[in-house]
Each structure stands twice: as C-alpha cells, then as structure tokens.
Amino acid sequence: MKTDFGKNLAALRRERGIGQVELAQGIGVSKGIISLWENSLREPTLSSLVALAQYFHVTLDDLVTLDA
C-alpha cells in the first residue's frame, strides 16, 4: 500500500497559491522538508501531519489517502 501524501500536499499547496517557503514558515519546518515530503523522499511525523491539516483546514484523511 502506498500513500498519495506527497501529491496531495503539493496539490493542496498549489490550489491555494501557497509557496513552499510560506507553508514551511506557517507550520514551523524548513522549505527543504516541504520539498522532501512533496517528492515522497521523507514522511512527516504525526505532529507535522496535524499541523498541516490545521493549516489547510482539512482532515488527516484528506492529506493521507491510501492507494491500494
């Protein structure tokens, strides 16, 4: 099973016209971390997922959908 988290995060960010730097500052991580997440090179911690969900006003399910 693989998650679509990286794609979902990038799409959410772009749909809302938010740059990686702005998002990083908004949740307290580096721009590099955002890039790693979006390129599926690293997975966020649970606390980072919660911060992202709150930032975008979405559920965790919206961020992390499963692709069977």
List of domains in the chain:
2-58 (1.10.260.40)
Q: State the Cα–Cα distance between residues 38 and 61, nearest whole angstrom.
A: 17
Query: pLDDT by residue (tens digit) across 20-50?
Result: 999 999 999 999 999 999 999 999 999 999 9
pLDDT at 7 over 80: yes
pTM of structure: 0.88
Which stretch of DSSP H or E encloses residue 2? strand 2-3
Measured CA distances, 11 to 7, 18, 21 (Å): 6, 10, 15
Which stretch of DSSP H or E encloses residue 67? strand 66-67
The dihedrals phi and psi of 66, each to the nearest 5 degrees, come to: -95, 140
The answer to whether residues 49 and 60 touch, using CB atoms and an 8 Å cutoff, is yes
